[in-house]
Structure 1
């Protein structure tokens, strides 16, 4: 049996194009995209009056739910695209067990910082559920450049999302080695 592929789309939080790229790759491959923020946003609907904050209760529930969904799909033999910020210290422990279940490929999004800020502001203004679910970036105490990328020994590709995708989407072959 050939293992399914787990495409991990990562990068710093806020406006880096991770979710958009994850959904585009999933459509191109023909598989589901599982996005951490979308799981948390779904939880907000069942928690009226929720107030986001660093390490809030929904954030704590989202992480194990995210990895449980990925494991379930991979054990069923499903190729899947997983999207989140994927800071190494927080996310590597959840990803390491999945290496036995799938061929893992990491895509790390990069973008011009001004573009990221503009995208993030636009997203928050356009989606009230997103705004209700997530702590504003400045409230987390994170600084630009504080991102610690995943350090798994698997094929990794940098994709600049500033103006489209570089490399272009058709050139990102997640089934092969990057």
Structure 2
């Protein structure tokens, strides 16, 4: 059986990862597994946000991804995927799926505006640390700029989400559906910020 494909949509807070992940999953006809949405569903089902929920969400996220991959299902997974915390969860899947990383980049001020807006307009965001993130930014910290990309030796496409998507969704879909042979033929990491 051909390995399924796992597209890991990554990036700092406010980079528009969830929006892109759902658009890509819809275009591909694949399921989308989004870390923040899992946490929101857990709280809606009665979980206590103070009860080590970030760790439980992380475990549920990778358990869901693992089950889908082992069943042969290709999917789009979305989370920050910052290297130290997330690479250990992805590494065991390298032999089970063709992993490709989409790295969202964004202007920090654009990200701050997005975080502020969603915190005010989306009630389910209350279970996340948006307020703390905005406080840190106001105090001069740089959590957007200090985000550390995941370090896996897999193909990677850089997408600037500041205004629209660069490259376009059509190019992102093309990247996501590269054949495994095409990926094997290109040993270098694929990166692009053009409008192709």
- TM-score (structure 2 length as normaliser): 0.82
Could you tell me how far 1:162 is from its partner in structure 2? 0.9
SS in 2 for 1:100: coil
**2:115 touches 2:134 (CA, 8 Å); kept in 1?**
no
Counterpart position of 1:72: 67
Could you tell me how far 1:47 is from its partner in structure 2? 3.0
Q: Does 1:109 align with 2:104?
A: yes
SS in 1 for 2:147: coil
Structure with more relative contact order (C-alpha pairs < 8 Å, separation 6 or more): 1
Could you tell me how far 1:42 is from its partner in structure 2? 0.7
Aligned residue pairs, count: 172
Structure-1 separation of matches of 2:8 and 2:98: 11
- TM-score (structure 1 length as normaliser): 0.90
Counterpart position of 1:63: 58
CA offsets 1:96-131 (integer angstroms, 9 cap, x no match): 011111100000001111111111111111111212
Counterpart position of 1:38: 37
SS in 2 for 1:109: strand
Moved over 2 A (4+): 138-144
Q: How does 1:7-156 map to 2 (within 5 A)?
A: 7-13=7-13, 15-47=14-46, 50-51=48-49, 57-131=52-126, 133-136=127-130, 137-138=133-134, 143-156=143-156
Give the RMSD, CA atoms, in angstroms.
1.7
**1:44 touches 1:129 (CA, 8 Å); kept in 2?**
no
Give 5+ residue unaligned stretches, structure 1: none
Structure-1 separation of matches of 2:144 and 2:34: 22
Could you tell me how far 1:64 is from its partner in structure 2? 0.7
Structure 1 or 2, whichever has the larger Rg, is 2
Could you tell me how far 1:51 is from its partner in structure 2? 5.0
Structure-1 separation of matches of 2:90 and 2:46: 28
Structure-1 separation of matches of 2:80 and 2:142: 13
Could you tell me how far 1:46 is from its partner in structure 2? 2.6
